[in-house]
Structure 1
Amino acid sequence: MPIFSFLTKEKPTHQSNCPSVPTCPVSFMRGRRHRVDVPYALPKDEREEERINFQHYTLHKLLGGHYHAPIEPTVERILDVGTGTGKWAHDIARHFPQAQVYGLDLEQPLGTGLPPPSNYHFVQGNILHPLPFPGNQFDFIHQRLLVSAIPSVRWPAVLQELVRVTKPGGYIELAEAGNNYQRVGASMHTFLQWGQVASIRKGIDVSLMPYLGDLLAHVSMHRIRTKTFQLPVGSWGGKEGDLYARDLYAAFQGLKNFYCSVGEVNPDDFDAILTDLPQEWEFCHTTHDFYIAYGQK
């Protein structure tokens, strides 16, 4: 399988403290930078930012667009929760130039890139804390791939806070991937078991993700719609499958410290299993379930 540079090369890790958060607690393990004040499983470094940007491009291809909720062209205020590098929010800001688009995350991106659109605004915040916005502010709120950042007991409070800052009639859209893979081999089965053990120890329950619609109903959202995509993992699924396999492999690389430190997996065993996965995905024709749910306030 062709490998992008960020899947294999160890890059110099940004050693400075968090932008705009001079005392944020971080640790450096095996060349990766992690925030230690939140239950987030993946690194927060430039290498991960490169992967997230690649992932954004890949998911746009696989999911058929940037969003699925029926938001109006006249939308005025949009919030991207856990915005990461801001790539999704930047594209949305260009698509809706009349709207003010806000990206909320723990810290600004570490890397440098093109200047964001003038109608994009970064806001520092933690999804596990009250959001720094008054109530009834946003026509559309988007949250993607934060399952590894939100302990299961915190999901109701997180969603209640999203509802609080959504305008009446506005939409909330959640996009997540859990641990439901179809047609997996022995190595992938082992990898998923390791992930389950580490996640449970952090209070994270990825098995909730097929029930995003139920979570929205629990916080009194209406007109809820759900979609499940079976994403191909590997070039057997064409160009899009190859892209997704590259992204998944890079994400799994980023989970090494989480699996080894929290799940007590031997680092050499982790490397051996990870090396087996791309060929196994191709042989088994593995797919990964990806979930989208949206509802209206």
Structure 2
Amino acid sequence: MEATTTSQPKTISPPISPTFRISGGRRFSNDTSVAYILPSDQDEVKRLKLNHDLWKELMNGLFKSDMHEQLTKGIRVLDVGCGPGWWTLDMAALYPNSQFIGIDMADVFVAQDLPSNVTFEQMNAGTGLEFDDASFDFVFQRFLVMGLSVEQYSSSVTEMKRILKPGGAIEILELINDYSNASPAFARIGSWIHQAMSARGLDSFIADKVSSVLETAGFKNITDVNYDVPIGPWGDESGEMFLSIQKLALPAVKVMVTELTDTTVEEYDKTEEQAYKEALSHQVSTRFRLIYATK
């Protein structure tokens, strides 16, 4: 199913509060209950928008669960870790009879001209979902590998099951911190990211375990789809787009790498620049997994 491309409404960048800190010119959560180690600022909003556009193309739509008819009639949908809310807004435009709620630990939500069937709430999914039992028909979550610790990931799945109605659908799209056919620079950066994530209790390969987590939680009809997304011109349009995303993603992870490993800023910057060059001559890609199931 094709997604309707939405315009890009302005987002509000909230003032710095005691729960956020500035490091390396980027804005990070300073809340000890938040495991998220990427920035929460306007540069990150740009990356998330490109990422959203890329995945609409790769998936030929916005989701894979068998929910089109129900969404057309009207159901209640939760977008966990929604960021600015690009997925929520596109879904709301496609399915005006359904109600959509997007939650994120940082208030970087789109704030202008929201449709009447969209609500955004600031909420840390790692500490629980503040919704009633069996209050949603469809729960969607993506790219929280750097946002939820191993323990939080399992507990969030349990929480998503709790708030789903019987027969409701869950869908999770997740990055795996693993560069396939990695060039020397990408291999080095991938190793640094893995070290930084491990230092914060995050699992680079949690996506490979999501199906098992869903099965343990009692979900049914589990479907697991693998993606290998190219980086660079060898991957045609998708590869070019994903390279552009890397040029926003790698600066975003620099602070966590240099804070949580022995890597220096100078060493990281040099390796990052080399990685962009190698993307033009090596066939590097990144693994992702999409898992969907029913309660």
TM-score normalized with structure 2 length: 0.90
How far residue 226 of structure 1 moved from its aligned partner, in angstroms, is 0.6
8 Å Cα contact 1:184/1:280 also seen in 2:
no
List alignment gaps of at least 5 residues for structure 2: 1-11
Q: In the superposition, relative to structure 1, how do residues 243 and 113 fare at CA in structure 2: closer, same or farther (>3 Å)?
A: farther
The equivalent of 1:6 in structure 2 is none
The equivalent of 2:76 in structure 1 is 77
SS in 2 for 1:155: helix
How far residue 245 of structure 1 moved from its aligned partner, in angstroms, is 1.1
The equivalent of 1:257 in structure 2 is 255
**1:243 maps onto 2:241 in alignment:** yes
Amino acid at match of 1:204: L
The equivalent of 1:226 in structure 2 is 224
**1:94 maps onto 2:93 in alignment:** yes
Cα RMSD after superposing both structures: 1.6
Q: How far apart, CA to CA, are the structure 2 residues paired with 1:197 and 1:170?
A: 37
The equivalent of 2:27 in structure 1 is 33
How far residue 181 of structure 1 moved from its aligned partner, in angstroms, is 2.0
Q: In the superposition, relative to structure 1, how do residues 124 and 182 fare at CA in structure 2: closer, same or farther (>3 Å)?
A: same
SS in 1 for 2:182: coil
Amino acid at match of 1:270: Y
8 Å Cα contact 1:181/1:288 also seen in 2:
yes
Q: How far apart, CA to CA, are the structure 2 residues paired with 1:14 and 1:115?
A: 16
1:1-297 matches, within 5 Å, as 16-17=15-16, 23-37=17-31, 38-75=34-71, 76-109=75-108, 114-297=112-295
The equivalent of 2:5 in structure 1 is none
How far residue 124 of structure 1 moved from its aligned partner, in angstroms, is 1.9
Amino acid at match of 2:93: R
Q: How far apart, CA to CA, are the structure 1 residues paired with 2:176 and 2:88?
A: 23
8 Å Cα contact 1:177/1:290 also seen in 2:
yes
Q: Indicate the percent of aligned positions where both proteins have the same amino acid.
A: 26
Equivalences, count? 279
8 Å Cα contact 1:173/1:295 also seen in 2:
yes
Q: In the superposition, relative to structure 1, how do residues 113 and 187 fare at CA in structure 2: closer, same or farther (>3 Å)?
A: same
Q: How far apart, CA to CA, are the structure 2 residues paired with 1:43 and 1:54?
A: 16
How far residue 208 of structure 1 moved from its aligned partner, in angstroms, is 2.1
How far residue 114 of structure 1 moved from its aligned partner, in angstroms, is 4.5
How far residue 130 of structure 1 moved from its aligned partner, in angstroms, is 2.0
8 Å Cα contact 1:227/1:293 also seen in 2:
yes
How far residue 73 of structure 1 moved from its aligned partner, in angstroms, is 2.1
Q: How far apart, CA to CA, are the structure 2 residues paired with 1:141 and 1:150?
A: 17
8 Å Cα contact 1:102/1:122 also seen in 2:
yes
Q: In the superposition, relative to structure 1, how do residues 106 and 208 fare at CA in structure 2: closer, same or farther (>3 Å)?
A: closer
TM-score normalized with structure 1 length: 0.90
